Amino acid sequence: MEPVDDQESMKIIDMAIDLGINLFDTAEIRTNMAELVEGGIVRWYDWSTDRPHQLKVFLKGEHCTATEQDFNIFPDKAETLTMCEGNNLASLNRRPLACGALTENSRLGSGSAVSGGGEEIQKKLAAVRENCEALTFEPLNQTQMDEIELIKKGA
């Protein structure tokens, strides 16, 4: 199958799709998405937001299936995760390693999403690293391996 040229696609549907997420309010964007569904252009849509008040608006949309949000040890996402669970909405994880801050090769420089994040973030990051260093991993013994095989076979 050949890749589709975006310009050709726009000619076929005779319109450009520009949600203008920074220009309009969330309800208007949701309305636009619903119109795309009604017009047969898309079947479902999702919303990328870290703001619970915006997600609440999108939850009212019948065809909203997922949200994408920053999710790692730094931001508190309890409210949005509860909203997702209560509304059967998928939650897609954006930046699980905090733009590399949670890797052993972390360089918390000026380009990092957590740089200059203040003392609280630096303390949390140090605690995570300390806890990770305290973990030990030992290979499974034969009995454990046999149990895993039984589980795989459905025994």
Over residues 9-47, the pLDDT tens digits come to 556 566 555 555 555 678 888 898 899 999 999 998 888
* Cβ atoms of residues 75 and 102 within 8 Å: no
Instruction: Give per-residue pLDDT as tens, 141-150.
Output: 888 888 888 8
Q: Report the candidate in 116, 111, 102, 44 with the shortest Cα–Cα distance to residue 71.
A: 102
Q: Are 14 and 41 in contact (CB under 8 A)?
A: no
Task: Tell me the C-alpha distance between 64 and 32, whole Å.
Answer: 12
Residue 30 lies in a domain: yes
Residue 34 lies in a domain: yes
Q: Does the residue 87 lie in any domain? A: yes
Q: Say if 154 falls within a structural domain.
A: no
**Total count of domains within the chain:** 1
Domain that holds residue 72: 6-96
Model confidence, pTM: 0.51
Residue 129 lies in a domain: no
The region that residue 136 occupies, defined by phi over 0 for left and psi between -120 and 50 for alpha, beta otherwise, is beta
Residue 134 lies in a domain: no
Return the CA Rg of the chain: 22
